[in-house]
Amino acid sequence: MAEPDYIEDDNPELIRPQKLVNPVKTSRNHQDLHRELMMNQKRGLAPQNKPELQKVMEKRKRDQVIKQKEEEAQKKKSDLEIELLKRQQKLEQVELEKQKLQEEQENAPEFVKVKGNLRRTGQEVAQAQES
């Protein structure tokens, strides 16, 4: 970046730019606090009170690590556990199908039930005559 022209001129009429003073850095409290933090850092002492944001971020990270470990533990199921889960799912599916059939039969009109009964009795009679 090129330097401005007024830096080279020695014209006394021009006002030279000066760097602005930062009031925070010039305050005595800020200087004392900064000095204390630097001394503690050199000694290896961390400040006792962490900022709230840092605490929250550390807690989230811990929770995330715990959740990952739980998921890994669930993924590492033995063959027996996997087989038992499959059987349990099959049994639940069969039970649901039975319940659906029962509900359909209960909700069916009366003439459909009677017709089903007549078919069964007709089949039973035919089987009895064959034997």
- Indicate the domain borders of the chain: 79-131
- 2-6, 22-26, 43-47, 49-53, range with the lowest pLDDT: 2-6
Q: Is 17 exposed, middle or buried (0-12, 13-18, 19+ CB in 10 A)?
A: exposed
SS3 77: coil
- Residue range 65-109, pLDDT digits in tens: 999 998 888 778 788 888 998 999 999 999 999 999 888 877 777
**DSSP-based helix, strand, coil % in the chain, nearest 5:** 75, 0, 25
pLDDT (average), residues 33-62: 84
**Are 24 and 30 contacting, i.e. CB atoms less than 8 angstroms apart?**
yes
Across the chain, what does the average pLDDT equal? 83
Q: Comparing C-alpha atoms, which of 33, 6, 35 is closest to residue 18?
A: 6
- Alpha-carbon gap, residue 83 to 73, rounded angstroms: 17
Nearest 5 degrees, angle CA 38-CA 40-CA 46?
A: 115
Q: State the Cα–Cα distance between residues 30 and 5, nearest whole angstrom.
A: 37
- Distance between CA 94 and CA 101 in Å, rounded? 11
Question: Could you give the CA distance from residue 26 to residue 19 in angstroms, rounded to a whole number?
Answer: 14
Say if residue 6's pLDDT is above 60: no
- The CA distance from 116 to 131, in Å, is 23
